[in-house]
Structure 1
Amino acid sequence: MTETDGQEPLSELLMRSARAMRRRWSDSLAPWDLSPHQARALRVVRRHESARMGTIAAHLRIAPRSVTEVLDGLEERGLVRRVPDPTDRRAVLVELTDAGLSLLAEVDAARDGESATYLSVLSVRDRAHLARLLRKLDP
């Protein structure tokens, strides 16, 4: 699809849709007073069971010094804790606390609800087709 045929380019439609979902997800974090970076940091830590700060920064695509601020806020709230890396005494790992794991489950449920609402305009068949197409594009 090109702009000359009177339709918006597919790339613009895809980006607009992604921005709309990101905005919905960001809004869904308000009850927990979490930023999107904080929620994503919690997910990274959960995925890795524990993670070095550099790993979290890389996944968030932010500078390592910036991840310190994100993690400080989560640690102050008792959602993560820093522990020594047993394989390298100079390094620190970040792990979820029980409170962090519980909060993340609530946040993920809200996110799933927002996603379901957003995608509800599509039939089950259309959603399956969209998922198949997006998996093809996933690097």
Structure 2
Amino acid sequence: MTTPDPDGLLAEQLLRLTRRVHRIQKRHLQQRVLGITPAQSRLLRTLAEYDTPPRMADLAGRLEVVPRAVTTLVDGLEASGKVRRVPDPTNRRVIRIELTDDGHETLRELHGARRSAAEEILAPLTDVERRVLGTLLDTLVDGGGGGAGGGEGRC
């Protein structure tokens, strides 16, 4: 008889949860914001974090992806009118990416979709369980490095 591998079981549970989260978020996104992929929504949310429009290289670094991936995402979002490329005011060879009014409206819809998805995903948990889960996830995400705790604003 084989002894169960508790770490392997936990890893499998985390993978299953991740797939479930993606499915639920995708469904909520499709219900509210047609034509926005999870990767595009992540780029829009990241773009909104900047005080001044970033360069694509800045976005790639923040998203931890290759610059070509950002170019593809920006191309799609620009075609749908959610972002635009603008020249840097101090160096016209540099192109920056900024949200359009439609992009800001899409972000509001995305926030609502993510909140609805989070409510669905976390519905079985009590408030105490949610706080404990938030603390555990922070520990795993930070690799034990002691980042921000509390679980606020996760979804």
1:1-139 alignment to 2 at 5 Å?
4-5=3-4, 9-31=9-31, 32-49=34-51, 50-139=53-142
Cα contact 2:28–2:116 (8 A) shared by 1: no
**Cα offsets for 1:41-93 (capped at 9, x unmatched):** 11111012422111222344443223222111211221111111234332111
Secondary structure of the residue that 2:76 maps to in structure 1? helix
Distance 1:87 1:10 in 2: 51
Distance 2:121 2:98 in 1: 32
TM-score (norm 1): 0.86
Q: Aligned letter for 1:65? A: R
Whichever structure has more strand as a proportion of its residues is: 1
Secondary structure of the residue that 2:81 maps to in structure 1? coil
- Percent identity, please: 38
Q: Aligned letter for 1:48? A: Y
Q: CA RMSD in A?
A: 2.0
TM-score (norm 2): 0.78
Q: CA deviation at 1:128?
A: 0.9
